[in-house]
Structure 1
């Protein structure tokens, strides 16, 4: 996609630096000590707490909240991090409103849950700001493991393996580690370069070497890794972008939302990042919301999310949908793209109204157009990279048990593997659990 200021309608500096800074400030201000104590006081400290079951990493939530309440946030952080080593980022980006907080007894009784995510952030930030790493390595085992992918699954796997005494090499295709935490999360959810700081903190465990600029099929082969290491974990994510299959999708101004978010996250000066006057985002997930909201925050005048099914089918949570609406983003449902019109560059997107029939989707024949000088595709991603004979299931690596693939000595987890919810917290759980299974296999 051409984001050049010469592309009609796409230009940088629609807002001044002060307004941009204000727009991209922390979405949720962190608690101070007193606020955390007051929030912790609302917890009932349930026996068999439903919030624990609702957390993919099964953090003992009542325990860590009790530890905050008793004035020991460092202990609370260790409780969190023992289950979720990326608990700081998850506190910022997890859809807690549909996970732990939705299951909170306070939510069910009063309609206002304990703010578990913000309490988790308070505890982990308190510990990390001290530069303290609460875990130490076990004695060296002499075993070596290759982890491909420095995203949440790979990092969680590598950290747990290093704790067990194994030597780990993490490979990643990008110039920086972090995966979607670094390149794919909205900037207002992860401020002050938190993703990079969290990786640096995680690496304090020792025993982990990071090698960047290497990917399967480009500097790495699975067969060589299997020969050179005692075990391999694949956390390569989904690098490809699904095709739009609409006429004119090659026009200037048409691109994918993932790349737009990555460019935004890595930009040194957001006033220099070009954005359209009329932006249309096609899709219904978290990526679509992140791209749409950030377009609005950069100064786009009209931003629309267009989704082919109903709101109830959107994978973006109701909270995320409401956030988009609060920022002035319009959401249009039951609309599938037919064509992108324009003279060289995008000018309009033509949609056809849809209806659901017996679980399927059917076009009605009725169409409409939206002005659009910038169009972002947020319609899902596909597996990229040479997985050399691994069995796939619906375009992802097939796994059994704790991430075991069809090849001995190779595990996988995160977005590239079948199952899961394509969430940071789920990826962390899968990387952690794979590491535990790998350790048992290595020490057998």
Structure 2
């Protein structure tokens, strides 16, 4: 029961015990006996469909078999060699639509292996007691690579290239590295400061110099990076937010969901995090669900998520939708925001127009309704800002890349949410980072070999 149930946006709606309970781990970790029992359900398939369904290409049967053998470090090594961010991915990856959906057990009896929690078990055990390093950096190659964006894609590239002996300068506009993992994850999905621990371990391989608070287009240009480095990787993520299809003014109380989630992620004292009593979330993706659930967990009395299309068209998975409902969030469909209701520039509600799906697309239905609200969180998607990296060709408003992450500019690669054709998932950013890293390493190896050959065949000096 809320301890503070007053209108308006304010902090301190719950007691300390209620905050602790609300934001405890949403999916508790497996114990050692539980992990072994679950691992023993695996068939250890040859050419396993779960591995083929994993964007990061983790050998799922291999790491699960090691858990069954109580070789937890070996299991973690299999995971982290394929996905350097395997710890975070085990918490946020939509495994229900990827590896677990492909699991043979799922096809047979409708109960796939709990791959996500097994992966988390192995990586958590490793990070609790890492022991000797898993990776050893090669001798310096003399090559320098600039990476813009210390999110999942940039971190993946930085680690792979540093291991190969290249010197990495990793730039990020934020105050700390991690990108989406540091600023965009729901607190109940990744409790504590695990992403920071993961990044600190990743950077410990050496050869990576981190430059926080340094933004492309403000502190340096792409032309400067291309002139000073042997290769450049762009992974800045999505800095922009989409606007509503309306010119209606926004009164006090209307916020971006991504900013709300980021503020909450960085909040040291949850009792200081303000939230409304009646909250409306506009959108249908995972950001919308994360914002809605966390608003409810902060003590909002009523939280309603409104999506303009039907339930089956929500980008948020069925698992996410069921979780939202279990947390007390009301989901409403086929309704688009028409206007914000306000008094003295203070939000009082949102009027929606019902929509209907036709062969010609989504159409207004004519009927309207109003929801009382003192806080609105807009979660209608993010966009890429092309201005800092002028000259790079775009596709659908994002950076155009080939399957190896190469952009239209020689010597420039890109990956992550800023690129066209991705899945906007941490694990897919890792996949793109791995592909780009392989391509960059090949190009740098060829250039190094050419330089060596040029020196070898150079005519001797007869000075």
Q: Same fold (TM over 0.5)?
A: yes
C-alpha contact 2:403 2:435 (8 A) present in aligned 1: no
Corresponding residue of 2:289 = 289
* Match runs of 1:1-150 below 5 Å: 9-132=8-131, 133-150=133-150
Q: Distance in 1 between matches of 2:361 and 2:218?
A: 39
Corresponding residue of 1:414 = 416
C-alpha contact 1:248 1:341 (8 A) present in aligned 2: no
Corresponding residue of 1:401 = 403
Mark the CA change 1:247 to 1:277 in structure 2 (over 3 Å): closer, same or farther.
Answer: farther
* Match runs of 1:356-435 below 5 Å: 356-358=357-359, 360-384=361-385, 385-435=387-437
Give the gaps of 5 or more residues in structure 2: 447-463
* Match runs of 1:101-250 below 5 Å: 101-132=100-131, 133-250=133-250
Q: Distance in 1 between matches of 2:361 and 2:216?
A: 36
Indicate the SS of the match to 1:275. Answer: coil
Deviation at 1:248, TM superposition (A): 3.8
Deviation at 1:365, TM superposition (A): 1.4
Indicate the SS of the match to 1:341. Answer: strand
When the two chains are superposed, the root-mean-square deviation of aligned CA atoms in Å is 1.3
Corresponding residue of 1:355 = 356
Deviation at 1:403, TM superposition (A): 0.6
Q: Which has the higher contact order (CA 8 A, sep 6+)?
A: 1
Deviation at 1:246, TM superposition (A): 3.2
C-alpha contact 1:281 1:375 (8 A) present in aligned 2: yes
C-alpha contact 1:138 1:163 (8 A) present in aligned 2: yes
Query: Between Structure 1 and Structure 2, whose CA radius of gyration is higher?
Result: 2
* Match runs of 1:242-391 below 5 Å: 242-343=242-343, 344-358=345-359, 360-384=361-385, 385-391=387-393
C-alpha contact 2:7 2:277 (8 A) present in aligned 1: no
Indicate the SS of the match to 2:388. Answer: coil
Deviation at 1:340, TM superposition (A): 0.6
Indicate the SS of the match to 2:171. Answer: strand
Deviation at 1:247, TM superposition (A): 4.8
C-alpha contact 1:247 1:339 (8 A) present in aligned 2: no
Equivalent residues, number: 439
Q: Distance in 2 between matches of 1:169 and 1:188?
A: 32
Indicate the SS of the match to 1:217. Answer: coil
1:130-164 CA-partner distances (Å, limit 9, x unpaired):
13431111121110100100100000110011111
Q: Distance in 1 between matches of 2:237 and 2:12?
A: 33
C-alpha contact 1:152 1:181 (8 A) present in aligned 2: yes
Indicate the SS of the match to 2:346. Answer: coil
TM-score normalised per structure 2: 0.93
Q: Distance in 2 between matches of 1:350 and 1:121?
A: 43
Deviation at 1:359, TM superposition (A): 5.5
Give the gaps of 5 or more residues in structure 1: none
Deviation at 1:417, TM superposition (A): 0.5
Indicate the SS of the match to 1:171. Answer: strand
Mark the CA change 1:249 to 1:40 in structure 2 (over 3 Å): closer, same or farther.
Answer: farther
TM-score normalised per structure 1: 0.97
Indicate the SS of the match to 2:130. Answer: coil
